[in-house]
Structure 1
């Protein structure tokens, strides 16, 4: 039973007044406790209580996250400017809250030092605070032998090494590849989510370890690559706060490593997540940020980011913006040379490009009555090209294709495609695929006279209930 919260004294100091404001906005979210709010804004559970009591100074970035989470309309960010003018200059603030392994300095290429005053390290610390830090070894120990064999994740040592070596870098790369394969073939939930979470916790802990100068770029790039695949996995499982944290860690590490390719990929991930959860404007901003200095990117990477822009415009119901962005994506992809791409971009082939652009066009068909022909053709290309290794992508494209035809074409054909999609979705732990199935179920409900449509809806309900 939670203990009653102690009364605050907002008149005692500006800092305590700020704390009282935070509590007021938290309590407007019925039943939300301080310990619950902490993880939602990537700080340890005790930090919110300490800020409310005036025991810790809040950082500007945290105030902004609190505004977003509590929907204050920017009240706390404005209050921060009045109360904590010099808060960012302090070492002992709410994000770091005392001694932390991340207060050790990390020297990065080009002389940049990530230390206790650097907001990047604060975000890294926030990501792991309050969690059990098992590392990959903890995941391996929890899995049955058969699962361990299929996931093939290297076992991380139980203790931090004295310094970063090629062994840790190879483990990070190997683990990223394993999560990427498992996520695409099984979905981001279940054991894949556990594996991704614990692998990321281990990687973040490694950032506090001394790294020889000649390995710094490789090490930071390996952490960035892992952050990207973990972010994608968490996004698929709808643990969106963890996904954003992983993507942002990846962005910081990619930037520090000077790796423009990984940087572009992190912004692509952030863009797609923002678009999916209903913020296409933020998604568009992320995608266009990824395109900064686009001459440093490969044609395939530019296509990837333009498809994200197209999907953002599609959600905004901006016909001209969507069609222009799809055209730019197509033009870039036509110049694609796989030999120039990083190995981890191999997933972005004809099928991936077709599916991504089809999703953007799908929104125009459904919301603005555009011709469904182009979207249907692209979904068909995606479905035909995705094999078992990309079962989730195939399932999502097939479900969207069924929904498109159900709404704008032959319902009998749509029902047949829907059953094929269910064959794949039933073997996945993907919240995204499940939501697309719900949409197909709603669209099939328009055909109340059809016994086959009813059977499809019944099968969808049964699949989602498992």
Structure 2
């Protein structure tokens, strides 16, 4: 027998009287009709249900989803098929999530919490602040990015102006090769700006476009294009993550790297996965999580037989950086020797687009940075200096950030182990170049240089732009 509500609450759709146990806005019949487009925003009483609260307190999103499905407010439990449609999961995937260990991938937790409209104050993780970036025109932006990438390089100010002039449009219901190509072209454009000027230049705009690209994942797409779309979004997420890393927005970087890795692994993009894990390792090293960095690098090597020689060299240099930070000189030298061996076997034509930056100057710089941490304590000083010098002399203008950061490291090395006067001269070049960057990492390297100068009782002047 149906229990009639004491407060006279009625269904928002049909007007029928709701059961006392139904704290939702619709009756059982209408809730299934309304749910076709996605879950509604549920009232506070819904989230006060004891089993649901227990699942939230246990930090187990699978249990939260199961309790949501079985909530008495629905009249009858929602099926895993229906829930899977909302969450973009198959029934089998959802079953594993509900009955398996607590999911830990932050990007997925954020996605599922957002879809189900779980109140932020009930979650054990932080949802992104979507109000921090202005909305931009999705198709309009991608067309601008594609046209810019295909024609001439505009100034940073002009690019920002073009983006600010765009307007919001409706997300597409279907995505194909045109949109995928536009995402890829936009990613290449942003990666060039990042390498030349640093991550602080247009990072907010890249974050906005990443949200657009993630929305594309929810659109209809042919099976043949799905993996390509996931790879494109993963590549854009990696670029956005590295920009956040360069700006030392470390929480944002962690979230975006996780999203990028998720896309790469779901699409089976082995090469992109290796690049993302390498960047995650570098980020972990920078933030002092050295053992995490070593774990990321080792994880990237699980599919080493499918990587190019250049990619393997990149991963070996990443491992060398970790070993050097940990003070393991033999392991550092072994990793550098392995990196040199694989780099000698490089065939650039075999490399994916995102590895084109890794030329002889980049290799010299990355291995020189690894040696720096043991050289400042007196080991292999000449080798570290030679490699950093080769990087400084070899980097083109398109790699201005890498050239500047190698110059700063070289100045610090000479300041710590050589002639302070020579180091001051090198520092003048480094600081002058750094003025043209929007890189917080470079700023932190400069702070390190000043500490070495202070120990050497040398004063480093404050530079001016283009000095």
Assess same fold via TM > 0.5. yes
Matched with 1:158 is 169
Mapping for residues 214-225 of structure 1, pairs under 5 Å: 214-225=224-235
Matched with 1:237 is 247
Offset at residue 284 of structure 1 (A): 0.5
Offset at residue 87 of structure 1 (A): 2.4
Matched with 1:183 is 194
- For structure 1, list consecutive stretches of 5 or more residues without a partner in the other structure: 1-46, 60-78, 94-98
Structure 1 275/252 Cα, relative in aligned 2: closer, same or farther at 3 Å?
A: same
Offset at residue 428 of structure 1 (A): 0.9
**Is this contact kept in 1: 2:309–2:346, CA < 8 A?**
yes
For 1:157 and 1:362, how far apart are their aligned partners in 2? Answer: 48
Q: Does 1:103 align with 2:106?
A: no
- 3-state SS in 1 of match to 2:263: helix
Offset at residue 369 of structure 1 (A): 2.2
For 2:110 and 2:266, how far apart are their aligned partners in 1? Answer: 14
Q: Does 1:439 align with 2:448?
A: yes
Structure 1 209/333 Cα, relative in aligned 2: closer, same or farther at 3 Å?
A: same
**Is this contact kept in 2: 1:124–1:204, CA < 8 A?**
no
Structure 1 161/101 Cα, relative in aligned 2: closer, same or farther at 3 Å?
A: farther
For 1:156 and 1:252, how far apart are their aligned partners in 2? Answer: 30
After superposition, what is the alpha-carbon deviation per residue over 1:102-142, rounded to whole angstroms, capped at 9, x for unaligned?
A: 934268xxx9968995956634527874413755538969x
**Is this contact kept in 1: 2:84–2:94, CA < 8 A?**
no
Matched with 1:122 is 108
For 1:100 and 1:238, how far apart are their aligned partners in 2? Answer: 37
- 3-state SS in 2 of match to 1:164: coil
Structure 1 211/85 Cα, relative in aligned 2: closer, same or farther at 3 Å?
A: closer
Offset at residue 447 of structure 1 (A): 3.3
Q: Does 1:395 align with 2:394?
A: no
Structure 1 313/57 Cα, relative in aligned 2: closer, same or farther at 3 Å?
A: farther
Structure 1 156/205 Cα, relative in aligned 2: closer, same or farther at 3 Å?
A: farther
Which one of 282, 298, 308 corresponds to residue 288 of structure 1? Answer: 298
Structure 1 147/355 Cα, relative in aligned 2: closer, same or farther at 3 Å?
A: closer
Q: Does 1:299 align with 2:309?
A: yes
Aligned residues: 374
Q: Does 1:193 align with 2:203?
A: yes
For 2:191 and 2:95, how far apart are their aligned partners in 1? Answer: 31
Mapping for residues 45-444 of structure 1, pairs under 5 Å: 56=53, 80=58, 87=63, 90=66, 92=68, 103-105=86-88, 119=103, 122-123=108-109, 125=111, 129-132=128-131, 134=134, 136-137=136-137, 147=156, 149-150=158-159, 158-189=169-200, 191-366=201-376, 368-444=377-453
Structure 1 233/112 Cα, relative in aligned 2: closer, same or farther at 3 Å?
A: farther
Matched with 1:24 is none
**Is this contact kept in 2: 1:106–1:207, CA < 8 A?**
no
Offset at residue 359 of structure 1 (A): 0.9
Structure 1 150/131 Cα, relative in aligned 2: closer, same or farther at 3 Å?
A: closer
- 3-state SS in 2 of match to 1:90: helix
Offset at residue 308 of structure 1 (A): 0.7
Over the aligned positions, Cα root-mean-square deviation in angstroms equals: 3.6
- For structure 2, list consecutive stretches of 5 or more residues without a partner in the other structure: 1-43, 70-81, 115-125, 143-153
- 3-state SS in 2 of match to 1:293: helix
After superposition, what is the alpha-carbon deviation per residue over 1:59-82, rounded to whole angstroms, capped at 9, x for unaligned?
A: 6xxxxxxxxxxxxxxxxxxx94xx
Offset at residue 225 of structure 1 (A): 0.8
**Is this contact kept in 2: 1:403–1:443, CA < 8 A?**
yes
For 1:337 and 1:417, how far apart are their aligned partners in 2? Answer: 34
Structure 1 324/183 Cα, relative in aligned 2: closer, same or farther at 3 Å?
A: same
For 2:135 and 2:339, how far apart are their aligned partners in 1? Answer: 39
For 2:324 and 2:437, how far apart are their aligned partners in 1? Answer: 27
For 1:442 and 1:208, how far apart are their aligned partners in 2? Answer: 50
Structure 1 377/245 Cα, relative in aligned 2: closer, same or farther at 3 Å?
A: same
After superposition, what is the alpha-carbon deviation per residue over 1:289-340, rounded to whole angstroms, capped at 9, x for unaligned?
A: 0111201000000111111100000110111111111111111111111011
For 1:184 and 1:115, how far apart are their aligned partners in 2? Answer: 43
What TM-score do the two structures reach when normalised by structure 2? 0.72
